[in-house]
């Protein structure tokens, strides 16, 4: 049986965009008609013997025609599903002249479907309501005038203004003004962020205080907010392991229940001369009590609730499989630059190993090469005021050397800007430069060398401060039983300094991208023992792509507005907050606990009432209420995850976010 063979199995069907909401009055009327049939059947009123079945039949018509059609259609197609069980149970009850019970079974079953649909709609709306945060109308500058215009009609490059207290309608870059912006809708962070000219703003976030204008960088359908909603919707379609198990279980469960009911109906009369009527009625009760609604609904509601809760915390999970795997993590591998550190290194030392007359040219070469790369170390050199005073030179034959540096030709001179590996590969050894590099690296700085074909021209040292929260995060992971390792292409001394500050004991340094890949693969398959390790890798989502792909879960840091990182990661952290890693693991454990609770509760309730039904002490009324109760129990338990990680009130946070290149 497919888990989406009926609304009970796909309870969010009528909650999806474009679906027509169903009216409640026919269902309410069906319940009253069933109660009326029971009341009339117990009286001695004239013609009660045909009024009662007429009322019951009317109740079935108002509540269960769709179930009947789906059930018999499935049966004729040679497959069994929940609708088939209900159609058989109601038909059998009617043939046994149990008219009120037949009507009530159908009415309550339909009521359960409707309530489940509302529950799943609530979890989906938790994400879809994010889109409603982006205003439909914006003030845009056109032909020198400010005009109100539908946000969906505003094009990239147009200028939009936002007043205090208004929500930002589209993604963009501030061109004039400054303010503090509440980005909780996207990042989950409770502290507003200061914004000024050149900073990124995102649709759906709240402008709290100032007035500013911004240039639109994404159309309404392509904003970060819209992409988050789309990715979470796609994640719902990727079934978690528990959900796949439940699907397989339900495929065999329904035929087994039908076979058991048939045996319960025919075996006692044939073998023990029991009453055919009583045994058939008992079999119909079994069909009702064994309906697998609670099993089928237990997993998807919990998974979708977990995904919605994570998205509100600024953690974008790309599928239920990753949400379930998070609790199993035994290793977290951290990239260094931009992950354990802020990723904004500053140049601290410049030393030229050439005559003073060549100094200006050498520094110009360094600036020209660095400006061709987006690596954090290169960007630090580009920002360095001592290099900005020099004019840029044209670079030809530029190439990136993964894990080593960059190279290019300037004034017909082949030059390389990179780490020790670039020197070793070209057999360039200058003791003075290497001795000075050793000294700087012992201070926790990263050193890069500018060299030509045969000598080191200069060295540059940059320092990147560790994140304040990194030690607390590593300690929190250790308390959870998760070991940490740092993987970096940087030199060993700098790596050890940063690792010590973060509390990480194991370090692998001077790694190329393929080395990181092999390290992750090695952690997953240890040489001794047969226990599988589950490894998470956290990096920038682009440079660490091989390692992220090799890990059981790849985490991308600070991916607001970056399409590549959003697509590359299994889990995307919408800001640069490392504390979201332990939050993700705790949410994974909480989701797993809810899944276990749901399955256990469904099994216990079904098992108890199944035994009671076999003994003949449970009526069809009790059976349908037990089925409804167990279903609503697991739904209510799953919805608790929507409140997971709720945050208290906010205070101002300093800092600015820059807009990534699109």
Do 92 and 236 belong together in one domain?
Answer: yes
Q: What is the largest CA-CA distance in the chain?
A: 119
Indicate whether 578 pLDDT > 80.
yes
pLDDT for res 528: 56
User: Where is mean pLDDT largest: 96-100, 141-145, 419-423?
Assistant: 141-145
Q: Is residue 266 part of a domain?
A: yes
The domain in which residue 390 lies consists of 346-463
**Per-residue confidence at 1, pLDDT binned at 50, 70, 90?**
very low
The contacts of residue 607 (CB under 8 Å, 6+ apart) are none
Residue 640 in tokens? 């608790």
User: Where is mean pLDDT largest: 160-174, 379-393, 565-579?
Assistant: 160-174
| Beta strand pairing call for 396-401 and 346-352 | unpaired
Q: Which residue has the higher pLDDT, 445 or 513?
A: 445
pLDDT for res 210: 86
**Per-residue confidence at 526, pLDDT binned at 50, 70, 90?**
low
174: left (phi over 0), alpha (psi -120 to 50) or beta: beta
Query: Which residue bears the tokens 């030059």?
Result: 415
Q: Is residue 189 part of a domain?
A: yes
Tell me: the pLDDT tens digits for 124-135? 665 566 566 678
Residue 95 in tokens? 């043939």
Which CATH number is 211's domain given?
A: 2.70.150.10
**Per-residue confidence at 597, pLDDT binned at 50, 70, 90?**
very high
Indicate whether 170 pLDDT > 70.
yes
**Per-residue confidence at 141, pLDDT binned at 50, 70, 90?**
very high
Distance in angstroms (rounded) separating the CA atoms of residues 371 and 639: 51
- Please compute the mean of the pLDDT values over residues 593-619 and round it to a whole number: 85
User: Where is mean pLDDT largest: 33-42, 70-79, 256-265, 321-330?
Assistant: 321-330
Do 165 and 298 belong together in one domain?
Answer: no
Mean of all residue pLDDT scores within the chain: 80
pLDDT for res 577: 86
Q: How many CB atoms lie within 10 A of CB 500?
A: 14
Distance in angstroms (rounded) separating the CA atoms of residues 69 and 110: 13
Q: Is residue 517 part of a domain?
A: no
pLDDT for res 122: 63
Residue 428 in tokens? 């360039």
Strand order in the sheet with 172-177: 145-150, 137-142, 159-162, 212-216, 172-177, 200-201
- Of the candidates 297, 238, 234, 298, the one whose C-alpha atom is nearest the C-alpha of residue 592 is 298
Which CATH number is 378's domain given?
A: 3.40.1110.10
Q: Which residues pair with 267 in a beta bridge?
A: none
**Per-residue confidence at 247, pLDDT binned at 50, 70, 90?**
low
Distance in angstroms (rounded) separating the CA atoms of residues 356 and 106: 93
Do 439 and 403 belong together in one domain?
Answer: yes
Query: Which residue bears the tokens 């809760």?
Result: 309
pLDDT for res 177: 92
- Please compute the mean of the pLDDT values over residues 389-410 and round it to a whole number: 84
pLDDT for res 652: 36
Given a contact cutoff of 8 angstroms between Cβ atoms, the answer to whether 128 and 204 are in contact is no
Indicate whether 406 pLDDT > 60.
yes
Residue 364 in tokens? 């110009």
Coil, strand or helix: which one is 346? strand
Q: Where are the alpha helices (DSSP H) in 513-619?
A: 513-524, 545-550, 563-568, 580-615
- Please compute the mean of the pLDDT values over residues 499-522 and round it to a whole number: 87
**Per-residue confidence at 236, pLDDT binned at 50, 70, 90?**
low
| Beta strand pairing call for 506-508 and 346-352 | unpaired
Torsion from C-alpha of 382, 388, 391, 396, nearest 10 degrees? -10
**Per-residue confidence at 449, pLDDT binned at 50, 70, 90?**
very high
Packing angle between helix 25-41 and helix 48-76, nearest 10 degrees? 130
User: Where is mean pLDDT largest: 220-229, 267-276, 324-333?
Assistant: 324-333
Q: Is residue 489 part of a domain?
A: no
Distance in angstroms (rounded) separating the CA atoms of residues 318 and 243: 16
Question: Which H or E element spans position 50?
Answer: helix 48-76
pLDDT for res 358: 85
Q: Is residue 499 part of a domain?
A: no
Indicate whether 143 pLDDT > 90.
no
- Opening angle at CA 402, ends 367 and 335, nearest 5: 95
Distance in angstroms (rounded) separating the CA atoms of residues 518 and 495: 19
Do 122 and 161 belong together in one domain?
Answer: no
- Please compute the mean of the pLDDT values over residues 573-588 and round it to a whole number: 90
Distance in angstroms (rounded) separating the CA atoms of residues 206 and 194: 12
pLDDT for res 468: 85
Do 20 and 98 belong together in one domain?
Answer: yes
Residue 326 in tokens? 């998070």
Length of the chain: 662
Do 384 and 453 belong together in one domain?
Answer: yes
Q: Which residue has the higher pLDDT, 434 or 658?
A: 434
Q: Which residue has the higher pLDDT, 212 or 514?
A: 212
Distance in angstroms (rounded) separating the CA atoms of residues 405 and 462: 14
- Of the candidates 172, 187, 181, the one whose C-alpha atom is nearest the C-alpha of residue 220 is 172
Question: Which of 463, 486, 520 is the endpoint of a domain?
Answer: 463
- Please compute the mean of the pLDDT values over residues 136-147 and round it to a whole number: 89
Report the domain count for the chain.
3
Do 251 and 168 belong together in one domain?
Answer: no
Do 294 and 381 belong together in one domain?
Answer: no
Q: Is residue 264 part of a domain?
A: yes
Q: Where are the alpha helices (DSSP H) in 196-350?
A: 224-237, 241-272, 276-289, 293-312, 320-325
Q: Is residue 483 part of a domain?
A: no
Indicate whether 529 pLDDT > 80.
no
Q: Which residue has the higher pLDDT, 542 or 358?
A: 358
**Per-residue confidence at 87, pLDDT binned at 50, 70, 90?**
confident
Indicate whether 628 pLDDT > 80.
no
Tell me: the pLDDT tens digits for 494-510? 888 889 889 998 999 88
- Please compute the mean of the pLDDT values over residues 9-34 and round it to a whole number: 62
- Please compute the mean of the pLDDT values over residues 629-645 and round it to a whole number: 83
Q: Is residue 545 part of a domain?
A: no
Tell me: the pLDDT tens digits for 289-342? 777 777 777 787 888 888 888 888 888 888 888 898 999 999 999 988 878 888
Question: Which of 444, 463, 482 is the endpoint of a domain?
Answer: 463
Do 183 and 263 belong together in one domain?
Answer: no
Indicate whether 233 pLDDT > 70.
no
**Per-residue confidence at 616, pLDDT binned at 50, 70, 90?**
confident
pLDDT for res 650: 42
Question: Which H or E element spans position 129?
Answer: helix 99-133
Question: Which of 200, 222, 244 is the endpoint of a domain?
Answer: 222
Do 157 and 207 belong together in one domain?
Answer: yes
| Beta strand pairing call for 413-418 and 446-451 | antiparallel
Active-site annotation, residues: 335
Do 154 and 19 belong together in one domain?
Answer: no
CA 580 remoteness from chain centre: 12
Do 414 and 386 belong together in one domain?
Answer: yes
Q: Which residue has the higher pLDDT, 513 or 266?
A: 266
């Amino acid at each position: 049986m497919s888990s989406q063979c009926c609304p009970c199995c796909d309870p969010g069907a009528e909650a999806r965009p474009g679906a027509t909401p169903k009216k409640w009055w026919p269902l309410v009327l069906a319940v009253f008609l069933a109660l009326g049939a029971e009341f009339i059947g117990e009286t001695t009123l004239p013609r009660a013997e045909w009024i009662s079945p007429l009322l019951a039949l009317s109740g079935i018509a108002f509540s269960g025609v769709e179930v009947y059609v789906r059930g018999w259609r499935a049966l004729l197609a040679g497959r069994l599903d929940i609708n088939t069980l209900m159609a058989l149970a109601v038909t059998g009850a009617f043939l046994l002249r149990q008219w009120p019970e037949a009507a009530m079974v159908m009415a309550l079953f339909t009521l359960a479907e409707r309530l489940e649909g509302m529950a799943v709609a609530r979890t989906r709306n938790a994400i879809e309501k994010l889109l409603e945060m982006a205003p439909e109308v914006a003030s845009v500058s056109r032909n020198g005038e400010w005009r109100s215009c539908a946000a969906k009609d505003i094009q990239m490059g147009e200028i939009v203004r936002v007043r205090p207290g208004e929500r930002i309608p589209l993604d963009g870059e501030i061109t004039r003004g400054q303010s503090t912006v509440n980005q909780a809708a996207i990042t989950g962070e409770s502290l507003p962020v200061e914004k000024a000219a050149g900073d990124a703003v995102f649709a759906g976030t709240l402008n709290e205080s100032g007035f500013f204008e911004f240039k639109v960088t994404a159309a309404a359908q392509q904003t970060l907010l819209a992409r988050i909603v789309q990715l979470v919707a796609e994640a719902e379609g990727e079934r978690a392991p528990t959900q796949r198990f439940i699907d397989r279980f339900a495929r065999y469960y329904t035929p087994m229940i039908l076979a058991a009911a048939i045996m319960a109906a025919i075996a006692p009369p044939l073998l023990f001369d029991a009453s055919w009527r009583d045994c058939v009625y008992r079999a119909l009760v079994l069909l009702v009590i064994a309906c697998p609604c609670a099993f089928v609904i237990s997993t998807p509601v919990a998974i979708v609730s977990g995904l919605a809760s994570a998205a509100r915390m600024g953690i974008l999970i790309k599928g239920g499989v990753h949400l379930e795997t998070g609790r199993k993590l035994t290793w977290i591998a951290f990239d260094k630059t931009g992950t354990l550190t802020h990723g904004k290194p500053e140049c601290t030392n410049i030393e030229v190993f050439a005559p003073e007359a060549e100094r200006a040219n050498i520094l110009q070469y360094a600036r020209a090469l660095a400006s061709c790369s987006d690596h954090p170390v290169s960007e630090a050199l580009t920002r360095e005021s001592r290099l900005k005073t020099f004019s840029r030179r044209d670079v030809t034959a530029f190439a990136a050397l993964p894990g080593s540096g960059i190279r290019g030709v300037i004034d017909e001179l082949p030059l390389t800007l990179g780490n020790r590996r670039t020197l070793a590969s070209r057999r360039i050894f200058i003791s003075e430069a290497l001795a000075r590099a050793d000294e700087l690296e012992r201070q926790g700085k990263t050193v890069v060398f500018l060299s030509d074909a045969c000598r080191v021209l200069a060295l540059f040292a940059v320092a990147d401060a560790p994140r304040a929260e990194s030690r607390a995060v590593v300690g929190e992971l250790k308390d959870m039983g998760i070991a940490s390792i740092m993987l970096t292409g940087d030199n060993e001394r700098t790596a050890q300094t940063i690792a010590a500050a973060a509390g990480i004991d194991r370090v692998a340094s001077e790694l190329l991208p393929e080395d990181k890949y092999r390290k992750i693969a090695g952690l997953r398959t240890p040489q001794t023992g047969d226990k599988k390790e589950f490894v998470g890798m956290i990096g920038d989502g682009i440079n660490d792509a091989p390692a992220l792909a090799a890990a059981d879960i790849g985490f991308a840091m600070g991916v607001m507005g970056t399409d590549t990182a959003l697509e590359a990661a299994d889990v995307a952290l919408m800001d640069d907050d490392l504390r979201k890693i332990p939050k993700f693991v705790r949410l994974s454990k909480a989701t797993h606990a809810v899944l276990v609770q749901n399955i256990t509760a469904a099994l216990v309730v079904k098992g108890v009432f199944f035994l009671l039904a076999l003994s003949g002490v449970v009526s069809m009324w009790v059976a349908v209420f037990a089925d409804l109760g167990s279903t609503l129990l697991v739904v209510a338990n799953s919805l608790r995850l929507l409140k997971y990680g709720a945050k208290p009130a906010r205070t101002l946070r300093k800092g600015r976010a820059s807009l990534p290149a699109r």
